[in-house]
Amino acid sequence: MKHWIWGAGMLLMIGTGASADLPEPVYSTVLPQDDMQFPRVVGVPSGEEESPHATMYITVRDFYGNPVPNAFVELIFNTLCRDPLCTCNEPFANGYADENGYIELNIKAGGCCEAQDAVTIIANGINLRYYDWVVSPDHNGEEGDCAVDLADFATFANAMMSGMAGCADMTGDGAVNLADFVGFRDGWMRECDPSR
């Protein structure tokens, strides 16, 4: 009997050890993306001194729904997006969550890319989310140059008039309307030194 109890205790310890601190995608949250009908990562080119826009609010939780403190969270762009996208800072959008498993990632990037798994969000080596779209106000139909100017506005205005969502859909609802224009406006005249 004593032996049996010892064995059960070991099993419990092993079970707990395997799950605690291991991020569980279902219980983790990524906002605003989790609320989008067609989830996508939104970037805005901006320098270090500018107030950040296009923030992702991430809470990493384990299998029990408990926060994973100090989880290392990374955002990885698919190499297929290397040319269409530009980024403003290296290393790009990663860091350690706080004691509540919470981290805010500022997506300082331009361009537009559609590809399978264009973005992967990784926490402690576990893939939390995949996204097939990266959009930003910096899109004039060509590669992002990490500067939002008149050429980008012309493309956005065309999309708004034609109703072609795609790269102009900043809110991930499959449509282009005033809400997306607010997103575009937040990026207006923003720029940074682009890297790829």
Query: What DSSP string runs through 55-113?
Result: EEEEE-B-TTS-B-TT-EEEEEE-GGGTTTEEESSSS-SEEE--TTSEEEEE--EEE-E
Nearest Cα neighbor of 137 from 161, 159, 104 is 159
Residue 149 C-beta: closest distance to Ca ion, Å: 6
Residue 175 C-beta: closest distance to Ca ion, Å: 5
Residue 187 C-beta: closest distance to Ca ion, Å: 10
User: In this complex, which beta carbon is closest to Ca ion, that of residue 32 or of residue 95?
Assistant: 32
User: In this complex, which beta carbon is closest to Ca ion, that of residue 59 or of residue 171?
Assistant: 171
Q: Which helix (H) or strand (E) holds 131?
A: strand 126-135
Nearest Cα neighbor of 41 from 110, 119, 111, 96 is 119
- Rg of the Cα trace of the chain? 20
Q: Binding segment for Ca ion among 22-30, 62-70, 76-84, 176-184 (CB under 5 A)?
A: 176-184
Single out the residue of 24, 62, 143, 169 in contact with Ca ion (rule: CB under 5 A).
169
Q: Binding segment for Ca ion among 27-35, 89-97, 100-108, 137-145 (CB under 5 A)?
A: 137-145
Single out the residue of 114, 132, 173, 186 in contact with Ca ion (rule: CB under 5 A).
173
Number of residues engaging Ca ion in binding (CB under 5 A)? 9
145 near Ca ion, judged by CB under 5 A: yes
For residue 126, what are the CA distances in angstroms to 120, 122, 130, 188?
A: 10, 5, 12, 35
114 near Ca ion, judged by CB under 5 A: no
62 near Ca ion, judged by CB under 5 A: no
Single out the residue of 36, 111, 118, 138 in contact with Ca ion (rule: CB under 5 A).
138
User: In this complex, which beta carbon is closest to Ca ion, that of residue 62 or of residue 180?
Assistant: 180
| Cα 2 to Cα 166: distance, rounded to the nearest angstrom | 64
Nearest Cα neighbor of 111 from 43, 20, 159, 175 is 43
The contact set with Ca ion (CB under 5 A) reads 138, 145, 147, 152, 169, 171, 173, 175, 180
